[in-house]
Amino acid sequence: MSEVSWREVAPGVHVRRHEELKLNCGLVVGEQRALVVDTRSFHRQGSDLLRAVREITDLELVVVNTHAHFDHCFGNAAFRDSQIYAHSGAADDLLRTGEHQRRQVVEHLRSTDREEIARDVEATEIVLPFYLVEEDTAIDLGGREVELLYAGRGHTDHDLAVAVPDAGVVFAGDLVEEGADPAMEDAFPMEWAATLHALLERPAGVLSETWVPGHGRVVDRSFVQEQAALLGRLAETFTEVLAGRPTGVDALASAARGLGLEDHTLRQAAVRALELRSGPTS
């Protein structure tokens, strides 16, 4: 953990990539306040992040959770004195699924012999974001504005991206993934591409060449365009198959083989596409 360090990708815009899950957290420093993007997986990791933030700035902190998956928000416990922003859907989701997420993570940690971390996760209080937004929102950090962008459903139904227009940087959360497939468990595979296109076409998106994915290496605008195109091909393939006779997960997933996504990803995407089609859901 101690070997992790910040990388300044633009003046006053820092990325901290962690070994665990290749998770990226962000720090944007203004003249009066600084903004932290995502808080890691449990209280102690959040505290470690906070210490690292304090090596760079003493300013008052504002926090944004890009979405309600544990690795982006369970570290909120260390930032409870700060304003914590998220989409209102993230607060709902965390309230509804937080304990379930915790059980799954703890089980996974125990099955991979990481008892100490499992206890850390068990002991972490889940702190909900409480500055809730549902549309694009500007936050003034003093001398610099940051934009929270909601472009539609994708990785979840409540992904927020954080744009720093003066620096040409977008923190995309898990709407963009580098080094692994886009994660589909809670995704909207038929809408994700359109959401990414909408994000790329926002004024701040058009101007940004530096995109920070939720996990993996920092990428450029063309990487995001390619990921949007890939997700667009996936949605098109699914649409074609679903327009024909009734179909199941296997048939749907196998129709999309060859696009360059792993079988596991295709199956999860197929499960979600069928789930979302079969009933009125959020």
Enumerate binding residues for Zn ion (CB under 5 A): 69, 174
Question: From the CB of 94, what's the least distance to Zn ion, in Å?
Answer: 12
Residue 266, Ramachandran bin (φ over 0: left; ψ between -120 and 50: alpha; else beta) = alpha
Which CB atom, from 117 or from 184, has the smaller least distance to Zn ion? 184
Sign of CA dihedral 174, 176, 179, 184: positive
Q: Where are the alpha helices (DSSP H) in 112-214?
A: 115-123, 192-201, 203-206
Question: From the CB of 247, what's the least distance to Zn ion, in Å?
Answer: 27
Question: From the CB of 200, what's the least distance to Zn ion, in Å?
Answer: 20
DSSP secondary structure code for residue 241 in this structure = H
Token pair recorded at residue 189: 């595979």
Which CB atom, from 237 or from 268, has the smaller least distance to Zn ion? 268
Which CB atom, from 33 or from 69, has the smaller least distance to Zn ion? 69
Question: From the CB of 110, what's the least distance to Zn ion, in Å?
Answer: 22
Which CB atom, from 187 or from 193, has the smaller least distance to Zn ion? 187
Query: DSSP 3-state assignment of 269?
Result: helix
Report d(CA 189, CA 69) in Å as an integer: 17
Which CB atom, from 48 or from 174, has the smaller least distance to Zn ion? 174
Question: From the CB of 156, what's the least distance to Zn ion, in Å?
Answer: 7
Question: From the CB of 2, what's the least distance to Zn ion, in Å?
Answer: 25
Strands ordered across the beta sheet of 219-220: 137-140, 145-149, 161-164, 169-177, 210-215, 219-220
Which residues does 244 contact at the CB level (< 8 Å), separation at least 6? none
Which CB atom, from 167 or from 184, has the smaller least distance to Zn ion? 184
